[in-house]
Amino acid sequence: MTAERGLVVHLFARVDGPRATAAVQALREVWRACADALAMGEAVSRTGLPTAFPAEPLHSLPAGPVAAMRNRDEGGGARQALLTRDHEVWILSVSLDADPPEGTDQAEGADAWRRLHGRWRSAVGRLPDDFLGAVYLHWAEARDTDPGRLREAVRTAAPDVPSATGWHEQDTVTSAGWRLWEISPRVDTRAERHLLAVAPAGRKAALSRSIWMVGGPVPAPVVRYLLHAAKVRYQLRVWDGGRDLARIRRRAERTLNDVLPLVTEAADGTRPAADDDARLTAADRRLISLQADEAGLAEALAGLRTMRRSVQIAAANMATWAEVSGHAAQPYGPFHDDQGLSAWLVQRLDDDESYLTAARDRVHEVGAIADRLLRRRLHERDEAGRRRHEMFGLLQTAVISSLLMALAAIQSLGFKVPVPGPVKPPIVLLLGGIVLAASAVSARLAFPGHGRAAGLLERTGTGLMLAALAWLVLAWLSPALLGGLASPAATWPTAGAGFVIGAALHAYLRRRSPSGVV
């Protein structure tokens, strides 16, 4: 090979979308590094482009070249940087030509690729992960075009970067006669790619029109091809083997499996009535989770279809630019690898779409059936509760009305109830407990959602009734058994024990019949 060598770097970043802001900031830093560390800053003649990186907002700029600059000094190899917008993607391209060797120092020329790559890394540093992709095109001219000797020459002169085993044996030849190798390990998700392009001596201008810029300046065909290949590999990284999609699908299936038995029980009434309310409430809660999972499946499916369409468009553009650049007929090499990957990814996305569609349809259909069944069972439960409330209300009204009428008759007729004086206080307490418990039961039946507060009142009313009964019995029997009235020291423990027994009895009966009157 000759000492005529260089490095072309293409960085691809999204105009908008995820991580676009960080990517644009990274482009700005690279542009600044080119100006400072690589001594660029002069305007590129006949372009009319500014040398400054454009100010925000960048997304409002039209497609085409935006800024360009070249090296300020005249010594050494040429250096240029160009920022271009290609639809929804920014392309920052940097060209570094090797410094001509001093005198006849061929060793210095042979080491040009390594020195250029080291110079770039020293100026820019490690690139962030916010780009769609980064491509390093190391180019050279060769006087000796014998394939065997040329492969050995590029192997020994290649830059010090991670490489695939036997990469130098896997070159392709374009219709223009120049050869292309990819050094990078064959990791499908790779974001950085290192390529070597070698043209016959005297073909530097033609090679530049393929890997750098054509008149305008406009990105060359290979650059456009590599842009769309970077889009495919970016989508592959986002897809990540479909792991997120599988997780969403599994979660929906778990929820579905939880809903089905509850719906079946709610539909055929196989569960005992004592557990009906709890089961229906649990089924309704899981149905809400299932509907949320359906929304997640629909969102994932929409994103998957968008991704598949993006890959299909990128693959079609890759095929077009491969044809233009003269690589379409190659049955192997980096271009063939890219196109095979895009076809494989489209097929995998098709498979994932089928699985997600089936899961969404199943969740939707079962969810609709479950919703109808549960709404019916919940309506039946509410109707049963309403009927119980009405019946209890009628009974409560009848009892209280009877008591009030009896008391009114006693008062109007001047009838004296032959009840000993010590018995009257527990009778009043008993009547109060009955009214409190009955009112609490009525409230619980009328407002099922506030059962805890109503249950506490029921328990209190029941305790008061049992306390009053215990007090009543003690007050009634104490003259005969004790020869006089019971002392407060005996009355309070007796009434307290009655209250505790009444509250415990109520709790026991409520557990046995949570949806009943008791």
What is 383-422 written as a DSSP string? Answer: HHHHHHHHHHHHHHHHHHHHHHHHHHHHHHHT------GG
Domain end, chosen from 184, 219, 254, is at 219
Higher pLDDT, 109 or 359: 359
* Residue 375 forms part of a structural domain: yes
Q: How confident is the model at residue 273 (pLDDT cuts 50, 70, 90)?
A: very low
Say whether both 250 and 210 belong to one domain: no
Higher pLDDT, 115 or 287: 115
Strands (E) located in 143-236? 172-173, 179-182, 192-200, 213-214, 218-219
CATH of the domain at 350: 1.10.287
Say whether both 198 and 329 belong to one domain: no
Say whether both 251 and 350 belong to one domain: yes
Residue 502 is predicted with a pLDDT of 81
User: Domain count of the chain?
Assistant: 3
Domain end, chosen from 331, 365, 383, is at 383
CB 289 within 8 A of CB 252: no
H helix intervals, 418-487: 424-446, 451-482
* Residue 517 forms part of a structural domain: no
Say whether both 31 and 131 belong to one domain: yes
CB 181 within 8 A of CB 142: no
Say whether both 80 and 215 belong to one domain: yes
* Residue 400 forms part of a structural domain: no
CA separation for the pair 467, 303 (Å, rounded): 67
Say whether both 277 and 182 belong to one domain: no
Say whether both 266 and 162 belong to one domain: no
* Residue 500 forms part of a structural domain: yes
Domain end, chosen from 153, 186, 219, is at 219
Domain that holds residue 507: 417-512
Higher pLDDT, 146 or 263: 146
CA separation for the pair 433, 191 (Å, rounded): 78
For 269, 270, 364, 448, 513, the CA distances from 274, given in Å and listed in that order, are: 12, 12, 31, 15, 5
On whether the pTM is more than 0.75, the answer is no
Say whether both 206 and 248 belong to one domain: no
* Residue 470 forms part of a structural domain: yes
Average pLDDT over residues 462-489: 76
Cα end-to-end span (Å), the chain: 99
Say whether both 343 and 422 belong to one domain: no
* Residue 410 forms part of a structural domain: no
Mind listing the pLDDT tens digit for each residue in 389-440?
677 677 767 777 777 787 788 778 777 767 777 777 877 777 777 777 777 7
Angle at 171 between CA 166 and CA 176, to 5 degrees: 170
Say whether both 243 and 215 belong to one domain: no
Residue 103 is predicted with a pLDDT of 46
* Residue 426 forms part of a structural domain: yes
Average pLDDT over residues 324-337: 73
Percent of the chain exceeding pLDDT 70 equals 86
Say whether both 327 and 279 belong to one domain: yes
Say whether both 135 and 76 belong to one domain: yes
* Residue 407 forms part of a structural domain: no
